Amino acid sequence: MHPIKMYILDNGWVEYDESLLVSNPTLDTISNHNPYRKWIKSPCYCVLIDHPEKGWMLFDTGSHPEAMKGYWPNETIKQFPYYRTEQQLLINQLALIGLKPQDIKTVILSHGHLDHAGGLFLFKNADIYWPKADYEYAKRLLAIQPESRSSGPYIRADIESPARELHFVTKNLKLAPGIEIITLRGHTPEVLGLVVHLNSCTYIFPSDGIYMAPNYGSRINQSDIFYDNLSCLESIEKVRKLNEKSHSRIMYSHDMEQFKRFKLAPEYYE
Ligand SMILES: [Zn+2]
């Protein structure tokens, strides 16, 4: 049996005000009530696992290919424009490794937000693992606005994508040898993180449990877009404990500086 291989699939980037991910990076002062604000580029990516027993598994599915052509609401696009090349489409990223969507039997969705669940429609024959509390929250929000195509960062068509079977996750789970799912509360009622034990190193993908390095530093910089800030701090500490125990590498969800150092598909980690 071959060892576990792990690929990072580049799905383009979203741009927005930095303060959404790192709150108050710049503050008003006595002499400047209009402090400098930063517009940042933030990567979207998926993690593909070639597992010797479980076959092909995918963590997150990126943004929808037509996001900027009417699939995302206009108001969203003004604050969070999404950019991608043809090559960065998930379907073309899979093709780099010679795969089609139907080759993926297991999809782990960190949460239902539009920059993570936009490719779900490709995987109607896969088993989808979804954090139960996030799914129920999204369904509740959408149910209050039955005529709307979206509610905040949840797009109805993403949330209602068909699957072979939906598996609702409520606690940490060992999905296969070397592959674990961890639950992280805060960004939404629950987000799933992925832990991959490779021969070389253990990698933790906390998804939007930790967006960028500043959220994890000694002085924790919180974000403005948490569902529940206190739970979020607890989740960061949960990752920290795991990291200290396993000497792993943390792969932030939206940190462009770190992302530039990632090895991208078709290259892989093993
Ligand atoms: Zn995200």
For residues 162 and 10, what is the distance between their CA atoms, to the nearest angstrom? 24
- The DSSP bridge partners found for residue 151 are 154
The alpha carbon of 207 and the centre of ligand 1 are apart by a number of angstroms equal to 7
Residue 60 CA, chain-centre distance (Å), reads: 6
pLDDT of residue 19: 79
Give the number of other CB atoms < 10 A from CB of residue 19: 17
Q: Each residue of 126-135: pLDDT tens digit?
A: 999 999 999 9
The alpha carbon of 121 and the centre of ligand 1 are apart by a number of angstroms equal to 18
CB 6 within 8 A of CB 48: yes
pLDDT of residue 226: 72
The alpha carbon of 254 and the centre of ligand 1 are apart by a number of angstroms equal to 7
The alpha carbon of 198 and the centre of ligand 1 are apart by a number of angstroms equal to 24
Q: Each residue of 157-212: pLDDT tens digit?
A: 999 999 999 999 999 999 999 999 999 999 999 999 999 999 999 999 999 999 99
Residues sharing a CB contact under 8 Å with residue 102, sequence separation 6 or more, in sequence order: 125
